[in-house]
Amino acid sequence: MHASGTRSTAHRRTRGFTLIELMVTCAIVAILMAIAVPSYALFMKQSRRGGAEAVLMDIAQREQQYLLDVRAYAATPAALNTTVPVDVSAYYTITIVPAVGPPPTFTVTATPIAGTAQAGDPTLSIDNTGAKLPTSVW
């Protein structure tokens, strides 16, 4: 009878997890999350910055064509027949500052919006010569 009692105890034990096993599993998941979440947040921040950089470069290119057509630079993206994509405008304010010159110049700036995930990001800009600031993030 002793042998059958041991067999039923062993049988019951293989049906589930012990508290220790669950605690170890939770600890492993917590460690993985502590590593993965900040990495993902940084990746998303860099991705959104790349989107803003692409918009700035597109506007700068359109400004050059606009200069050829009108002999001045445009003051708004709408004047260039373009709009700022929602995924960029949700995190950055895009502004164009033309100067009449001579020679005419412009600077397009993407300023991170306070209170968003990009709030700590630097302000990005490109001018009519193609100079991009800050150079460390382009």
In a domain, 50, yes or no: yes
What per-residue confidence (pLDDT) applies to 113? 97
- Asked if the model's pLDDT at residue 101 lies above 90, the reply is no
SS3 state at 62: helix
Q: Looking at the 3D structure of the chain, how many domains does it have?
A: 1
What domain range includes position 65? 2-133
- What integer is the mean pLDDT of 64-86? 95
Highest mean pLDDT: which range of 9-13, 46-50, 101-105: 46-50
Per the omega criterion (within 30 degrees of 0), is the bond before 77 cis? no
What per-residue confidence (pLDDT) applies to 8? 56
- Asked if the model's pLDDT at residue 27 lies above 90, the reply is yes
Are the C-beta atoms of residues 80 and 63 closer than 8 Å to each other? yes
Determine whether 77 is exposed, middle or buried from the number of CB atoms within 10 Å of its CB (0-12, 13-18, 19+). Answer: buried
52-71 exposure pattern, b = at least 16 Cβ within 10 A, e = fewer: bbebbebbbebbeebbeeee
- Asked if the model's pLDDT at residue 14 lies above 90, the reply is no
Return d(Cα 72, Cα 67) in angstroms, integer. 5
- What integer is the mean pLDDT of 20-45? 94
In a domain, 62, yes or no: yes
In a domain, 125, yes or no: yes
In a domain, 138, yes or no: no
In a domain, 30, yes or no: yes
What per-residue confidence (pLDDT) applies to 128? 95
- What integer is the mean pLDDT of 123-127? 97
Q: What is the pTM of this model?
A: 0.77
Q: Which of 127, 34, 64, 12 is nearest to 135 (CA)?
A: 127
- What integer is the mean pLDDT of 117-129? 95
For residue range 58-73, what is the model confidence (pLDDT) as tens digits?
A: 999 999 999 999 999 9
Average pLDDT, the chain: 90
4: confidence class by pLDDT, cuts 50, 70, 90: low
In a domain, 107, yes or no: yes
In a domain, 6, yes or no: yes
